[in-house]
Amino acid sequence: MKSYQFELSFTVRDYELDTQGVVNNSVYQNYLEHARHEYLKEIGLNFNELHSRGMDAVVHKVELEYKRPLMGDDSFVVRMNAWQQGNVRFVFEQNIYRIPNDELTLKGLVTAVFMQNGRPIRPPEEIVKALRKS
Amino acid sequence: MKSYQFELSFTVRDYELDTQGVVNNSVYQNYLEHARHEYLKEIGLNFNELHSRGMDAVVHKVELEYKRPLMGDDSFVVRMNAWQQGNVRFVFEQNIYRIPNDELTLKGLVTAVFMQNGRPIRPPEEIVKALRKS
Amino acid sequence: MKSYQFELSFTVRDYELDTQGVVNNSVYQNYLEHARHEYLKEIGLNFNELHSRGMDAVVHKVELEYKRPLMGDDSFVVRMNAWQQGNVRFVFEQNIYRIPNDELTLKGLVTAVFMQNGRPIRPPEEIVKALRKS
Amino acid sequence: MKSYQFELSFTVRDYELDTQGVVNNSVYQNYLEHARHEYLKEIGLNFNELHSRGMDAVVHKVELEYKRPLMGDDSFVVRMNAWQQGNVRFVFEQNIYRIPNDELTLKGLVTAVFMQNGRPIRPPEEIVKALRKS
């Protein structure tokens, strides 16, 4: 099995479903964002604190492949890896698996850049270190 | 200038902004979905009627490139093209431009499949015809 | 017919629907918030500018009566009145009518307070004036 | 301390915050809805199954008093009581407390009706029994 640096479990909430009875496509980005921010917290970076210091992690690119729909009452886990790409970019590989059978429901690839005063900056030491270790 | 088959204008609503004061990344998928459904309506296909006939347009893949953030009070237009790909797939090219300066803020590519009873089907005649004409 | 100080039209977007095929209950608050902010703009108060000056209109109380559901493809109008209550409170009466038959779908009453540095303040002159006139 | 029949814990997710850095007012209704549906599950009623049997719990009235804002990274608990009112109505008292200090952040009162084919019906036995016991 593929190995991951971090994972976070969720349960589908009924307000996230649309008329097709499945999780609306846009909601997956909410799940992935929340998982990224929890991952950042684990390595010592708080998204809201960073913002209050004028530093923002800005998403540059999102690629999502929808493999199977999540439905009402489903539980699932977002599993992820992160790595640096060049000087300023980070890539988050974020895949969603339905619990309990570990079916792949979504494959995601999210590229982000840290910005300050409207410009890309060298990323905070915490994230560079965390990625080096992994 | 690039030509498009369809366009739809929006105004950013404040509840769509996040703590960074910009439209949250996931909200762009809402804009794109709404524009796709309005496009389908224009060519004679109603998403909700299709669903009540057991037929669903299911998003298979989404690729989004965030070029510039949309902010509070911004107006913008989603401009789009659509074409068939193989037997069952449709591709929607959907780009967002800020009004009034026509700055490209997001480049999107959305691949969808029409499904019935859990299987991909030949798409409804209306959409095949509409795309042939274009 | 009841008279109103301000109104704003909307069209239901499919991502706002839930599995029951109707607009999710929470989404009405989005509609009402957007209508309030557009009303404030009309009388010369920009919600985002106010916030950047450290002044926030904070909702204190919301009462919503759901009369009829809004469905996919419905158009509707939010009609509203606003008045001052005591020194620091504002009340927004916000009712939603489905177009074209003017059926009442939601009755809303929203009480707000202007805050600065965590304390209620006398509201900005623009809003006091606008309400006096009305 | 006030006693409650059911409670459910949450953590604020950053996408739920608005430009004021606090949870957007509409999002509280998402929290309350999710807590109600989990409560229904606990007493043997699944919202999505009910809907597929043509029976819907429809919210008739919502009253929310916002006491203190929830911020990024906050954890909180929704605590609730439910009782029958007359033949067809249910009232859910739903209060939100910030963890760990148990500060009251929101007081909510939600009235719902079970509907079938567009008409109020006697509620499912499970909920009547559950409420009788409590």
Q: What is the pLDDT of residue D37?
A: 95
Mean pLDDT (chain B, rounded) = 92
Average pLDDT over residues C32-56: 90
Closest to C80 in 3D by CA, of C124, C43, C44, C35: C35
Three-state DSSP at B14 gives: helix
Q: Which of B25, B51, B62 minimises the CB distance to A33?
A: B25
ipTM of model = 0.93
Average pLDDT over residues D56-76: 96
Q: Using 50, 70 and 90 to split pLDDT, how confident is the model at D45?
A: confident
CA-CA-CA-CA torsion sign (C100, C101, C104, C109): positive
Average pLDDT over residues C43-52: 85
More confident residue, C28 or B49: C28
CA distance C47 to C54: 11
- pLDDT above 80 (res B12): yes
Average pLDDT over residues A11-27: 95
Q: What is the pLDDT of residues A49-79, one digit of tens each?
A: 888 888 888 999 999 999 999 999 999 999 9
Q: Tokens 């300066």 appear where?
A: B101
Average pLDDT over residues C93-117: 96
Q: What is the pLDDT of residue A133?
A: 58
Q: What is the pLDDT of residue B106?
A: 98
Q: What is the pLDDT of residues B79-133, one digit of tens each?
A: 999 999 988 899 999 999 999 999 999 999 999 999 998 889 888 888 888 776 5
B19 and D17 in contact by Cβ < 8 A?
Answer: yes
- pLDDT above 80 (res D10): yes
**Taking the CB of residue D107, how many other CB atoms lie within 10 A of it?**
15
User: What are the residue ranges of helices labelled H in B43-97?
Assistant: 47-52
Three-state DSSP at D124 gives: coil
Average pLDDT over residues A95-114: 96
Q: Which residue of C has its CA nearest to A27?
A: C15
Q: What is the pLDDT of residue D93?
A: 97
Average pLDDT over residues B35-47: 91
C34 and B48 in contact by Cβ < 8 A?
Answer: no
Question: Domain map of chain C by residue range?
Answer: 6-133
Q: Which of C14, C18, C73, C74 is catalytic?
A: C18
Beta bridge partners of D98: D76, D103
Beta bridge partners of B103: B98
Burial label for D32, CB within 10 Å (0-12, 13-18, 19+), is buried
Give yes or no: D14 in active site: no
Q: What is the pLDDT of residue B127?
A: 80
Closest to D27 in 3D by CA, of B20, C33, C9: C33
Q: Is the pTM of this model over 0.90?
A: yes
Asked if the A6-133 domain carries CATH number 3.10.129.10, the reply is yes
Q: What is the pLDDT of residue D76?
A: 98
Alpha-carbon distances, residue B37 vs B30, B34, B56 (angstroms): 11, 5, 12
**Taking the CB of residue B30, how many other CB atoms lie within 10 A of it?**
21
- pLDDT above 90 (res B60): yes
C61 and D66 in contact by Cβ < 8 A?
Answer: yes
D19 and B18 in contact by Cβ < 8 A?
Answer: yes
Q: What is the pLDDT of residue D127?
A: 80
Q: Which of A18, A56, A73, A74 is catalytic?
A: A18
Q: Which residue of A has its CA nearest to C72?
A: A19
CA distance C118 to C114: 10
Neighbours of chain D (3+ CB pairs under 8 A): A, B, C
